[in-house]
Structure 1
Amino acid sequence: MPSIPAGDPEWHPIAADWFESLIDSGQSHYYEASDWATAVYVAEAMSRNLKQGKFSAQLFQSVMSGMTELLTTEGARRRARVELERAGETEQSVDPAVALMDDYRKAAGGQ
């Protein structure tokens, strides 16, 4: 598992909260170092947009696109056919990595 970079203490509180939320989010279990680097970049862009006097719609769209790439919204996960389950939500006791790979195999037409 790659190390999780520290957030910037100068980030806008909303950007900092978003970045910190990734640590506890199920999809981040599969993040590689490059995904964490992308998350830092998205949080920085989000912070800059929130701190400037004039809100940039173009920068907002770029931030949302980065968030989608990181599967941070339910809609993005559904489009990617990734379903996260919290412990105790299923009757089965299946490792989340196994369940995710099972879903990928089924989506690819496997058994």
Structure 2
Amino acid sequence: MTYVVTESCIKCKYMDCVEVCPVDCFYVGENMLVIHPDECIDCGVCEPECPAEAILPDSDDKAAAFAELNRTYAAEWPNITRKGDAPADADEWKDKPGKMALFDPAPGKP
């Protein structure tokens, strides 16, 4: 089992999870983060740190659709090991559903 970043992260990208990850398995895109499934040790410390509740175990039905997205973009985006600044409008996007159409495949800046 591993953890997966889901659609709730899009346009929020709070990055609180990055600070607690003991294996630095987060990768940063322009408007969301992903977890590299081969690097995640399934410790679960990131899940409660996410204000947007975007991190779920891959066994959760809501996470299944995002497992491949995490794998794909973890191989393309830069690794992030320190918390950065969330977007200025992150709180406005936090609880909005249906954000997948806003997903940006561009890499972010670590």
Normalised by the length of structure 2, the TM-score is: 0.26
Where is the strand percentage greater, Structure 1 or Structure 2? 2
Where is the helix percentage greater, Structure 1 or Structure 2? 1
Q: Which has the higher contact order (CA 8 A, sep 6+)?
A: 2
Normalised by the length of structure 1, the TM-score is: 0.26
